[in-house]
């Protein structure tokens, strides 16, 4: 059950429903997870700086069970997420950061229990 949290100092108008749908499809393919398990939140209009500059930028946090736990996986995921974000948001790669967090099944609650028991 991947979670994507996208923060940016770009305006909310840059994040259409269509963009979120494309991001969900891309994330499903990148992480090899069913699209119906992809969860996305977007926080536009953030007060942000990357490298001391407030020029347009974005940060993506990717948390998931079993697919973001090592450098080789994350290197591949990073490349594909950067390709998507630079194209879709019109940002240079040096204006984007990605953080990967591995999750365990007991850390995600769903339907009144945790994923361990589903």
Whole-number pLDDT of residue 47: 98
CATH number of the domain encompassing residue 46 = 3.30.429.10
pLDDT tens-digit readout, 17-32: 999 999 999 999 999 9
For the chain, what is the radius of gyration of the CA atoms?
A: 15
Domain limits for position 92: 3-117
How do residues 32-69 score in pLDDT, each as one tens digit? 999 999 999 999 999 999 999 999 999 999 999 999 99
To the nearest whole number, what is the mean pLDDT of the chain? 97
For the chain, strand residue ranges (E) read 3-8, 39-43, 58-65, 96-103, 109-110, 113-114
Structural domains in the chain (count): 1
pTM to 2 decimal places? 0.94
The β-bridge partners of 59 are 7, 97
Is the separation of the CB atoms in 94 and 85 below 8 Å? no
Pairing relation of β-strands 58-65 and 3-8? antiparallel
Sheet holding 58-65, edge to edge: 39-43, 3-8, 58-65, 96-103
């Amino acid at each position: 059950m991947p979670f994507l949290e996208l923060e940016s100092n770009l305006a909310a108008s840059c994040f259409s429903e269509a963009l979120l749908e494309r991001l969900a499809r891309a994330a499903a393919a990148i992480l090899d997870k069913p699209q119906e398990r992809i969860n996305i939140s977007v926080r536009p209009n953030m007060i942000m700086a990357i490298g001391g500059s407030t020029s347009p930028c974005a940060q993506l946090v990717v948390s998931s069970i079993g697919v973001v736990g090592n450098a080789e996986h994350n290197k591949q995921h990073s490349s594909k997420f950067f390709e998507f974000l630079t194209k879709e948001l019109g940002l240079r790669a040096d204006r984007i950061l990605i953080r990967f967090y591995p999750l365990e099944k007991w850390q995600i609650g769903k339907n009144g229990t945790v994923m361990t028991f589903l």
